[in-house]
Amino acid sequence: MVFNSYTFIVFFAIMLVLHYLPFTWKTKKINLLLGSYVFYAAWNPPFILLLWLSTVIDFFVGRKLYHEENKTRKKVLLVVSLIGNLGMLCFFKYGEFLLENFVALVNLFGMDYHPADPGIILPAGISFYTFTTLCYTIDMYKKESQPVKSLLDFSLFVTFFPHLVAGPIVRPPQLVPQFEHPKLATTKQFLDGLLLLSVGLFMKVVVADSLLASTADAVFNAPMPLAALDSWTGVLAFSGQIFMDFAGYSTCAIGVAMCLGFSLPQNFNNPYAAIGFSDFWKRWHITLSAWLRDYLYIPLGGNRKGKVRMYMALMLTMLLGGLWHGASWTFVVWGGLHGFYLWAEKFISEKRNANGLAPVRKTGLTGFSLAMLTFLLICITWVFFRADTFGKAGMLLLSMAGFFGSEGFMLLSTTAILKVAIVIPCMLLLQWMMRNRQLTHEAYRLSWWKLGVAWSFLVLMIVWAQESGSAFIYFQF
């Protein structure tokens, strides 16, 4: 089930009615849990067993980890949890990838080995709920938070349907305490939630799917070299599509949770207005960035063990972050490019500090110019994120550089180019203007009739473009 479907509207209406009827709080939580299983089962019901398995193992192992004083037993319990969670993730998400690379390796040494296709189906959102449960057991091992008292609360924490499939990635202290006492949205909170849901659907259905997706697909699926204009248009279209799609989902998720009286963490903060790459990762997929920082970068040494160790930890974190997104070497290269950008940024910053130079201005024309440079460099990384193979990625990069000259094929229509030429600059300017602002705060600064007209326009556009809607991109991760 996806947010941009009429089925979800019916489902959400039912969940709202059940949540606001005068049931006991325990009954309402059971309703939310069962509803979350129904939401997930709409893809493939048998995969609910994986959710149950992950939930039950980590609930009991986490409690035991917190109270266990014997260090050896604690490590064994942690290994059990890691094997259970990462084992499932590796099998379902990386099984075929590992097999393909193993076959390529043995064939390289002269062995004619061709196993049958395992036909592994990737469960929706497995990377998200695996990271959600992993952070709980690791926190229990470190005793950084209290164990969840109720299996019902822990199950709802893992499977709460707004964040289940594509985040935000939540941690127990962010959500579990909200299940301990009755939660109902205030009138303002409910309206804020509906507004965010409307904005998120507009971003996904109208902008990502209707205006940008076809152009991005045409360019990235082209079998021939393209003209530079067509190549850049396609890459810019995908840069807008991936943001509008994923940020649209997160905005919907936060809005849906808000309508039920719950608060989810912010996951995007105008990332294309970022000045530099550290700033970008503080604004793009914020909950994943924080997870990788706390559970990978810092344990690898972080900033505490010298520059060499820091640079190694940074690159390894970004490489694994790339691999988290998909079982392909192109994703690893995408992560590696971001690691290189962060390396270069840190090196330049250290040199400037050593020479006593003033910090770079982050306002006005200077700040905007640096933000646009950051955006263009990020667009280059999106080539590897979207391309199926290195061959396609290389051909597209050469096309963008004008390498093929007049031999490059002119694929896109004038209308397609104009759509991207209008949508992307508008997106960049809007993000720059909203760089340090919140959408709901700005919305309520408008008069009631202006807000009403704008909101009605969003809804009408969503209904008009609904037939072009598709599944969210990050469902595959």
CB 167 within 8 A of CB 222: no
Nearest to 115 by CA among 90, 94, 96: 96
CA distance 474 to 167: 9
Cα-Cα-Cα-Cα torsion 259, 260, 263, 264, nearest 10 degrees, comes to -90
Residue 435 has what DSSP assignment?
T
Task: Give the active site residue among 19, 285, 325, 338.
Answer: 325
CA angle 403, 407, 413 (to 5 degrees): 100
CA distance 11 to 476: 22
Radius of gyration of the chain (CA): 23
Cis peptide before 168 (omega within 30 of 0): yes
CA distance 221 to 224: 9
The pair of three-digit structure tokens given for residue 26, joined into one six-digit string: 């325990």
17: CB partners within 8 A, 6+ apart: none
| Greatest C-alpha distance within the chain | 73
* 441 counts as catalytic: no
Q: Element (H or E) spanning 1, and its range?
A: none
Nearest to 458 by CA among 194, 163, 187: 194
The pair of three-digit structure tokens given for residue 325, joined into one six-digit string: 């997104």
Nearest to 361 by CA among 455, 242, 275, 255: 275
Q: Which residues does residue 409 pair with via DSSP β-bridges, in sequence order?
A: 226
CA distance 382 to 397: 11
CA distance 28 to 37: 14
By CB neighbour count within 10 A (0-12 exposed, 13-18 middle, 19+ buried), where does 119 fall? exposed
CB 2 within 8 A of CB 472: yes
Catalytic residues: 325
